Amino acid sequence: MVKIGNIELGEFPLLLAPMEDVSDPPFRAVCKDNGADLMYTEFISSEGLIRDAIKSRQKLDIFPYERPVGIQIFGGDEEPMAMAAQIVETTNPDLLDINFGCPVKKVVCKGAGAGILKDIPKMVKLTAAVVKATRLPVTVKTRLGWDDNTKNIEEVAERLQDVGIQALTIHGRTRTQLYKGHADWTLIGKVKNNPRIKIPIFGNGDICTPEQTIAAREKFGVDGVMIGRAAIGYPWIFREIKHFMKTGEHLPPPTVLERVEVCKKHLRQSVSWKGDIVGILEMRRHYANYLKGLPHIKEFRQQLVTYKTLAEIEDVLDAIVSQYKDHIFERTSPPLAEQNFLPADNEMAGCNVYV
């Protein structure tokens, strides 16, 4: 049984990654329905929380159906991060996660996210300040290092464990890689198999299929995997992985009707949580993935990203079901890379491989 503090996550948990502008409550709801074991909020600025910024405060919204759920914060200074941790605690999440992995320039230039990988002593001090400021279990998500010359994740893991974190998620790329190239799971495996490491180690990067998940467990020994881009518009990935790990067999892909019904739920919850205008606007980024594999779908997709009312959009979704009710999705089997992971040079390469 994998545990973070007193939180039991099962034998090999599947975690939903915190993705900015994606991992909001409506998206988390459909992922939870399909088997995500632990989910995180979008990352939240520590300084934004302290300033009472509306967008930052809204990201604190969590709901009973999501549990266990963690709130993720980022920042580059000890005092604001400690204060943010205390604010987060009042919303009663199950845990608090620190983002030391975001590679985006506007975050990095403030010495936050992956930017702190240039200053490991500061990273340790900041983490210690957050651990001291809250009673919540504190976890960290980070990368292998800043660049190929500073892959210091083994040292980082030991030092963060020593100051009190209770789990570590490692994205198998450096900051300079961004999301290009291949995730290096070898170093993730070294951290997990370090006899000094006693906390759960979760791997992240290029997980798109059940076979890759099994490889992550058997070859690298991780305690679970975190799934990000592969779940966008395809929350079924969690149930498919669990079924394959239990039976050795693939589930059939979701039908057109299943895809549309889940898309509708996602849309309705987006409107309910964000309001008509923002909820409809921000949902537009998801349609392409929900409808991936349907032939000649461009006209319908254009309507979905143009119409401005819930009724109009649901009418289009119903029309898609009618038009494609006999379409059968078939699984393709792209060759696996040497380390049993698909290349990720192109975004979502190998993910949701149905035609």
3-state secondary structure of 200: coil
> Is 171 labelled a binding residue?
yes
Determine which one of 102, 208, 263, 351 is catalytic: 102
Other CB atoms within 10 Å distance of the CB of residue 280:
21
* Residue 161 structure tokens: 């464990």
Tokens of 58: 């809204």
Structure tokens at 143: 């990368």
**Both structure tokens of 239:** 């149930």
Instruction: Give yes or no: 109 in active site.
Output: no
**141 marked as binding residue:** yes
DSSP class of 214: H
Query: Do the annotations mark residue 350 as ligand-binding?
Result: no
Side-chain-side CA neighbours of residue 321 (13 Å): 16
- Find where tokens 């890689």 sit: 177
Residue type, 92: N
Which residues make Cβ contacts (< 8 Å) with residue 185, sequence separation at least 6?
A: 172, 203, 205, 216, 219, 220, 339, 341
- Residue ranges of the binding site for FMN: 72, 141, 171, 228-229
Catalytic residues: 102
